[in-house]
Amino acid sequence: MKLLLDTHIWIWSAIAPEKLKKPVARELTNPKNELWLSPISIWELSVLVRKNRIELDRDFDAWVAAALAQTTMREAPLTHDVAIEVSRIPFTHRDPADHFIAASAKVFGLTLVTADPRLIELKSKEISILRN
């Protein structure tokens, strides 16, 4: 399975794995699965750090490098197709990070791993979801 980690799932997997439900933790550590991350998640983390909503144990660049080195992650690139897909998905909220992450899942045929109820509701709209 190809899993696109929502930002909070990526952060939890690195610093708070106890927040992951057992089935999700099992899938994230299954060597048969591919883990994907959008660059939007790195941007979103930087915003959370600047707003003091998350405190990291080292400087931002070093933390991101260490978190990415923990496991093999493929990059879900921001492409024209992803940007166009954002306009096609009927979101009920205005979080641009969520929009780009969900559109990336759809464009690249990835299963979005999330605990966000606003994204979970998209499951019926052609986006595969693994719910935490």
Check which CATH number belongs to the domain holding 75 and give it: 3.40.50.1010
CA distance 71 to 43: 19
Q: What is the pLDDT of residues 57-107, one digit of tens each?
A: 999 999 999 999 988 999 999 999 999 999 998 888 889 999 999 999 999
Give the global pTM.
0.94
pLDDT of amino acid 94: 86
Q: How confident is the model at residue 3 (pLDDT cuts 50, 70, 90)?
A: very high
Q: Is residue 32 packed enough to be buried (19+ CB in 10 Å), middle (13-18) or exposed (0-12)?
A: exposed
Number of domains into which the chain is organized? 1
pLDDT of amino acid 60: 97
pLDDT of amino acid 57: 93
Classify 93 as helix, strand or coil: coil
Q: How confident is the model at residue 20 (pLDDT cuts 50, 70, 90)?
A: very high
Residue 96 CB partners (closer than 8 Å, separation 6+): none
Per the structure, the complete domain to which residue 119 belongs is given by 2-131
pLDDT of amino acid 115: 95
**Torsion over CA: 108, 22, 39, 123 (sign):** positive
The total number of residues shown for the chain amounts to 132
CB 9 within 8 A of CB 112: no
